[in-house]
Amino acid sequence: MNSVSPSAVQYAGGVMHNELVDGRRQQSGAQQGSYGLRPPQSPDPSKEEEPEEMDKLKAKIMSAWNNVKYGWTVKSKTTFNKVSPVTLLGYSYLLCSEDQVEQFRMAFVSRIWLTYRREFPQLEGSSWTTDCGWGCMLRSGQMLLAQGLVVHLLPRDWTWPDAQQLTDVDFEVFRTRSPVRVGGVPIPSFGSPRVNGTPEKILPSDPTLRPSQRKRSESTRDRQAEPIHHKLLTWFGDQPPAPFGVHQLVGIGRSFGKKAGDWYGPSIVAHILRKAVAKTTVVHNLVVYVAQDCTVYKEDVAHLCDPSFSQTPPEPDNQVWKSVIILVPVRLGGEALNPSYIECVKNILKLECCIGIIGGKPKHSLYFVGFQDEQLLYLDPHYCQPVVDVTQVNFPLESFHCTSPKKMPFTRMDPSCTIGFYARNKKDFESLCSAVSLALSSSAEKYPIFTFVEGQGQDYGLEGQSSNHSGQVPHILPPGKSGRVHNRRHSDDFVFL
């Protein structure tokens, strides 16, 4: 079953939490020699090789177990209704027409899907040749970053032209109990309810072109962008040189006290992605900002995007402003998601500037890209695939695109997550601040998920939090800056929203 074709795969997205915990318990035991405290070793050289060989054997056993566990598939289709709009990264689709179903299918399949891989080069300082069973949050973070790079590098509303070839897209559309549309009555234009003042994302088109001409024009444009799509995927390859591959991310994670085989929380992964983008030279004119204390400090973003911002006087029409991915680690409740924030999360996913949310179920990371009614839409990294050699000129792309939309109730969402946004320029950043602030104000809770404030924050870095393996996000107010953070409690080390 491990050799199932990616174009027909239904990944096992329904792995239960207790099953994963059991796997983690077995894995942690198998890794004790590699990552736990070692007993004092004998100076006898003849005895030094034995622990290393045992570590390799244990790693191989765990890899084989995880390959079986995450390599099998469960054939089941996700159902969508025709009445309620389905939102996917700022777009809304009403699936009561074949045209809308096809647009949704193309949009979903075009998202970059990054999953567990096996048989890649050994991770430095370990015996691991797979991230199966422990790297799901890293994979979710890769997908979040990949979406940011897609909107940064590819044409607006780009779709993967070869998605048409993946005919086995596993979802069904059904009509719930509702009045039947009278024959001949036009299908109403689709569009989800938006927060007042939030612009609807509209497909760019030339009104003088017929639909067939416009479709051909967009197809030609997307086909011309394929080399960029191809190059982007090489950056996430499972080889040490790939700037956003698992080898690089695990290497960066060591500076935060993380090792291959450890659990990575959404906050840690946000900082790893920030360092990965800052470290590489393959992406130009892009920076990553990670919010601190559930607060986006606008002046910090300005300094990051425009080094000349500190000049006196600043240049009002400066064109050097870099594009920015903003990552906001938050915790939306204590042990479970606070239901008061569900509507707020929906409104965030409706925004054009949102590039998704990494979180999931407890200890089971997912990449959320949209919703329908009370169900989140997600991409699941928990499917083990063979490594793809992205150094080959025409390596296959199918395994990087998912054909199986999956949904889960909002109530099962883990409260610890990281929300991603993208702004191409200064004007877009200002619009982002306004649109997101409006979406955040929709919550009935006294404390917003996060805030935008003027001024600068204190740069704590993350090294001091490296022991925070739980993935919880500390909300510690900067000394002397309590007035900048509105409605924040400061009596606890953690503020649970």
Q: Which of 55, 96, 132, 136 is catalytic?
A: 136
More confident residue, 274 or 471: 274
Most confident range, picked from 38-47, 50-59, 140-149, 195-204: 140-149
pLDDT at 65: 59
More confident residue, 212 or 447: 447
pLDDT at 469 exceeding the cut of 70: no
Enumerate the H helices of 226-328 as residue ranges. 226-234, 246-253, 266-279, 298-305
Residue 152 appears among annotated catalytic residues? no
Lowest mean pLDDT among 113-127, 143-157, 255-269, 459-473: 459-473
pLDDT at 169: 65
| Residues contacting 248, CB < 8 A, separation 6+ | 240, 242, 276, 279
Q: Which of 152, 382, 401, 475 is catalytic?
A: 382
pLDDT at 63: 60
pLDDT at 219 exceeding the cut of 80: no
Residue 230 appears among annotated catalytic residues? no
Lowest mean pLDDT among 12-21, 111-120, 147-156, 247-256: 12-21
Q: How far apart are CA 474 and CA 497, in angstroms?
A: 12
Q: Which of 380, 384, 402, 417 is catalytic?
A: 380
Strand, helix or coil for residue 354:
strand
End-to-end Cα spacing for the chain: 43
pLDDT in tens, 346-395: 999 999 999 999 998 877 899 999 999 999 999 999 999 999 999 999 99
Lowest mean pLDDT among 21-25, 310-314, 398-402: 21-25
pLDDT at 157 exceeding the cut of 70: yes
pLDDT at 215: 57
When the pLDDT of each residue in the chain is averaged and rounded to a whole number, the result is 76
CA torsion, points 474, 480, 486, 492, in degrees to nearest 10? Answer: 40
More confident residue, 30 or 257: 257
Residue 300 appears among annotated catalytic residues? no
Tokens 């204590």 sit on residue:
334
pLDDT at 45 exceeding the cut of 50: no
pLDDT in tens, 83-131: 999 999 999 999 998 899 999 999 999 999 999 999 999 999 899 999 9
More confident residue, 14 or 168: 168
DSSP state of 133: T
pLDDT band at 201 (very low <50, low <70, confident <90, very high): very low
Lowest mean pLDDT among 186-190, 225-229, 269-273: 186-190
